[in-house]
Structure 1
Amino acid sequence: MSSDPIEIGPLSIDRTAAREATKLAAIVLCLVMVVQVVGIAVLTGGPLSILSVNEVPAEPDAEAWKDAPTETVSLENQQMIAPYGGGSVDDVTVQSVTNDTHVAFRMEWEDPTMDTEINEPNAYSDAAAIMLRSGDEPPITMGANGNPVNIWYWRSSWQFSESDPGGDMYTYPHPDNRTKPGQAAGNPLSQSAYNRYGQNYYAMGYGSLTNAETQPVAANGERTDDGWAVVFQREHEASGEYDASFEGDERMYLTYAIWNGSADEANGQKSLSYEFLTLDTEDGTLATADSGGSGDNSDGESANSGAVASATESASWLAGAATNWPAAIVLATVAAWLVSYWRIKE
C-alpha cells in the first residue's frame, strides 16, 4: 500500500499508511486511558474505608450496608484457657459505617440452626461479640490487668426467645412459687424481658468480665438465608470508664467471637479471631492490624507481616507508575503509531 509521500526533510512518509496508523494510535490512546483509570482505582484502593452515611443503620438489612466494604475474618476454636472448645463457625464477614455522631458494625456468619431458647439444661443460645480497645493493641486474652477491653455482646435468646429469655432453667422450687434469684439480684443475664439486645462489658483478662454501669450499646440481629446478621450501634462518645473511644485520633483495635448454641458453645467455648482489625478513628480506615502490638506474635506471623509490607510497597510503586499518565500515554501512542505505520506501509 502506497500513495504520494510527504517529504519532511530527509524523511519520506507514506500518506495512506500514516492516516491508518493515526487511526490505530487513537484507539490505543483510548484503551490506555481506560487502563489508567482502572489501574489507579485498583492499586490505590488499599485498606477498606469505613462508609460515611447520613444515618447509621440499626437494622442488618438496611440499604446502607449494600455499599459498605466487607472484611472476612477467619475464626478458630478457643484454645487458651478452660473450658476449651468451639470453632464450629469458620469465619465472619464484618462491615462498618459511621457519621458525625454514631458508628455501627455489622457481623454476618453461617449457622444452619436458630438457637434462641435456654429454658432447659444443655440448651444454649447463639451469640456474637466484638472486643474493642482504643490506643495500644490489647492481649487477645480478653485484655489483661492494666489493659482493659470493651466488649459488645448480643445473644439471640434476648431478642427471639419465646419463653423467659433469662432462662427458666435458672429458677428454683419454693413451696409457694418458683424463685428466680438472678432476676431478684438484678443480674443482667437473668432479665425476664429485654428492650435492648446488646450488652456493654469490660474485661481485664479471662474470668474478669464485668457488666458496665453504662449501657450505650444497641444491638439487633436477624436470620439470613444461611445464618445470622447482627448490627452493633453506639454513639461515638461514651461516658463509661473503659468504653472504646471513637473521638480523637487513637487507633481502634477490634476482634470478633461467635457462639453456636446447637454446638453446645457457651462461655469460653466459642469461635474467635486471633487477629485484630484496626479502625483509624480519624480517617475511617478499616484494615488488618500490623504485628508487633502488645499481644504475642510468632515468627510465622512476623514473616507474614513482612510479606504484607513487601506487597504494599510493590503496590505503591505500581500505583505511582500508573499515575504517571502523561508519559504512559505519549509512549504508548507513539509506539502504536510507529508499529502500525511500518506494518501498513509494507
Structure 2
Amino acid sequence: MRKLKYSLAVVIFSVAVANGAEIFVRSNEVKKISMDPFDKAWKKAASSAVTLIPQTFTVPHGGGSVKFVEVKSFFTMTDLYVRLTWDDNSRNAAHDFGGRFSDGCALQFPVEEGILPSPFMGEDGRPVNIWHWRAANSEDNRYEKAYSDYHRPGAIEEHVFFSTKPARSLYAEGFGTLTTGQVQDVLAAGVWKDGRWSVVFKRALTSQEGTAFIKNSLTPIAFAVWDGEDQERDGAKSLSLWQTLILGEAKPEELRTPEVRGERIFGRYGCATCHGPAGRGGVKNLNAQGGEVPPIYKVREGFTEAEVEQVIRLGRRSVPEDANAPMPSLRMNNWGLVMSEEELHDLVKYLWTLAPKGEEW
C-alpha cells in the first residue's frame, strides 16, 4: 500500500451565510392560479427560505449581494408554478454599454433522472434545464445590444441571447455550454414592489423537451438570482445548491447512515464539479500545479478524518504552477460557512468509502 498525499483545493468566501442544509419545497395541487405574483392564492402556499451563495468557482466570479430567496410553488392538473421573492433595494431592467445590468432569476432542474448533475450548470453527459427570467426582457424599450467583458471579447455577437419574451428555456452541461432550447414554453412574470422582486414561472408539467414533473414525486431544483445594481450578469450571480421540489404527497427518502447522507451531500454540493465523479479527478484547472484539480478518492491515505473536515471547513487556496500567471480559474469554496458540522462529518465518512480495494489500491 502506497502512502500518498492528496490536497483539497479550497478558496474562502468573504461573507458568511446560513446553513446549507437541504430544503424541501412543497408544491400543493390547486384547481387554478394566475401568473400574478400577488395572486391571493400565494398566501396559502408553503414558504421555503433558500440560502444563496456567491459564484466563485470559475470566471466571471461574483454574486453574494442576495443572501436568500423565498420559494413557493403550486401545480394544477396541467401546469407547474414556482414563485421566487427576494429583497432588492433598486429595480434594474436595462442592459447597455454604460454599465447597466438587469436584475434576473432562474430555476434549474436535471433533465434526466439518476445521479445528480453538478448544481453549477450541470456537467458533461448530465444536462440541466434552466428557466431564466430577466427584468430587461419585460421592458418595451429594452436594449438590443449588451456589453463586452474582458473575458468574453465576442460577447455581443456570440454569447448574449436576446429574447422578446421575459423567460427562456436553456440547457447546459457545465460552465460555458449554455444553449437555447428548441421548445420555448416557459412563461414568467415579475413585479418589483416595496424593495422586493416577486417572479412567477409557469410551464406545463410535461413538455416536448426538458424536465418532466410528475404528481407525487420528488424533483431536484436549484435557484439563481442576479442583482444588476451590483454589476451581476452571466456567471456573476448568487446561487443555491440542489434542493428538492415535492409535488403532492411524495415523501423524501430517509437517509439512515452517515455514508449514505454523505453521498447525498457530495452530489448536492457539486463536489464532482472540481474533483470528478466519485472524487477521481481529471478536471482541468489552468495554471494549477499538475494542471488539474486533485482527486480525493484516496484522501484517507494522507489525512485523518479530522484533518479533512478542517480543510473543508476553513479552506485552502490552490497553488499556481506559475506565480506570475493568473490564479487557477476553478475554485472550491470554504464550505464550513455553509455546511453544518453534521454534514461535514457525513461527507468525510462518504469520502472514506471511495478508496479502492485490493489490487486497485
- With normalisation by structure 1, the TM-score equals 0.63
Q: Identical aligned pairs, as a percentage?
A: 28
Kindly indicate whether the alpha-carbon contact (under 8 Å) linking 2:189 and 2:199 is maintained by their aligned counterparts in 1. yes
Deviation at 1:203, TM superposition (A): 0.5
Instruction: Say yes or no: does 1:237 pair with 2:215.
Output: no
Residue 212 of structure 2 aligns with an amino acid whose one-letter code is S
State the partner residue of 1:314.
none
Residue 156 of structure 1 aligns with an amino acid whose one-letter code is A
Deviation at 1:165, TM superposition (A): 3.8
State the partner residue of 1:166.
144
- Per the alignment, in what secondary structure is the counterpart of residue 50 of structure 1? strand
> Which of 248, 265, 270 is the equivalent residue of 2:237?
270
Residues 67 and 285 of structure 1: CA distance in aligned 2, closer, same or farther (over 3 Å): farther
Instruction: Say yes or no: does 1:292 pair with 2:270.
Output: no
> Which of 48, 73, 82 is the equivalent residue of 1:105?
82
Residues 199 and 291 of structure 1: CA distance in aligned 2, closer, same or farther (over 3 Å): farther
Name which of structure 1's ranges 214-223 and 297-306 shifts more when overlaid on structure 2: 297-306
Runs of 4+ in structure 1 over 4 Å off: 284-291, 297-303, 305-308
Deviation at 1:130, TM superposition (A): 0.7
- Per the alignment, in what secondary structure is the counterpart of residue 95 of structure 2? coil
Instruction: Say yes or no: does 1:197 pair with 2:166.
Output: yes
Residues 281 and 53 of structure 1: CA distance in aligned 2, closer, same or farther (over 3 Å): closer
Q: Distance in 2 between matches of 1:200 and 1:105?
A: 15
Instruction: Say yes or no: does 1:74 pair with 2:16.
Output: no
Residues 238 and 265 of structure 1: CA distance in aligned 2, closer, same or farther (over 3 Å): same
Residue 263 of structure 2 aligns with an amino acid whose one-letter code is G
Q: Per residue, is there more strand in 1 or in 2?
A: 1
Q: Distance in 2 between matches of 1:199 and 1:288?
A: 35
- RMSD between superposed Cα atoms in Å: 3.2
Residue 238 of structure 2 aligns with an amino acid whose one-letter code is S
Spell out, residue by residue over 1:108-140, the C-alpha distance to the aligned partner (whole angstroms, 9 max, x if none). 000011101113331100010011125232212
Unaligned runs of 5+ in 1: 1-45, 171-180, 309-346
- Per the alignment, in what secondary structure is the counterpart of residue 263 of structure 2? coil
Q: Distance in 1 between matches of 2:178 and 2:146?
A: 23
Residues 250 and 207 of structure 1: CA distance in aligned 2, closer, same or farther (over 3 Å): farther
Aligned length: 243
Deviation at 1:284, TM superposition (A): 5.2
State the partner residue of 2:113.
135
Residues 306 and 88 of structure 1: CA distance in aligned 2, closer, same or farther (over 3 Å): closer
Q: Distance in 2 between matches of 1:276 and 1:288?
A: 17
> Which of 229, 245, 259 is the equivalent residue of 1:279?
245
Residue 82 of structure 2 aligns with an amino acid whose one-letter code is F
Q: Per residue, is there more helix in 1 or in 2?
A: 1
Q: Distance in 2 between matches of 1:67 and 1:156?
A: 26
Residue 304 of structure 1 aligns with an amino acid whose one-letter code is E
> Which of 207, 224, 227 is the equivalent residue of 2:193?
224
Unaligned runs of 5+ in 2: 1-22, 149-155, 256-260, 273-307, 310-335, 347-361
Kindly indicate whether the alpha-carbon contact (under 8 Å) linking 1:75 and 1:89 is maintained by their aligned counterparts in 2. yes
Q: Distance in 1 between matches of 2:35 and 2:208?
A: 21
Deviation at 1:59, TM superposition (A): 1.4
- With normalisation by structure 2, the TM-score equals 0.60
State the partner residue of 1:340.
none
Q: Distance in 1 between matches of 2:220 and 2:24?
A: 15
> Which of 335, 342, 346 is the equivalent residue of 1:304?
342
Q: Distance in 2 between matches of 1:228 and 1:123?
A: 18
Residue 225 of structure 2 aligns with an amino acid whose one-letter code is I
Kindly indicate whether the alpha-carbon contact (under 8 Å) linking 1:49 and 1:284 is maintained by their aligned counterparts in 2. no
Q: Considering only CA atoms, is the larger Rg found in Structure 1 or Structure 2?
A: 1
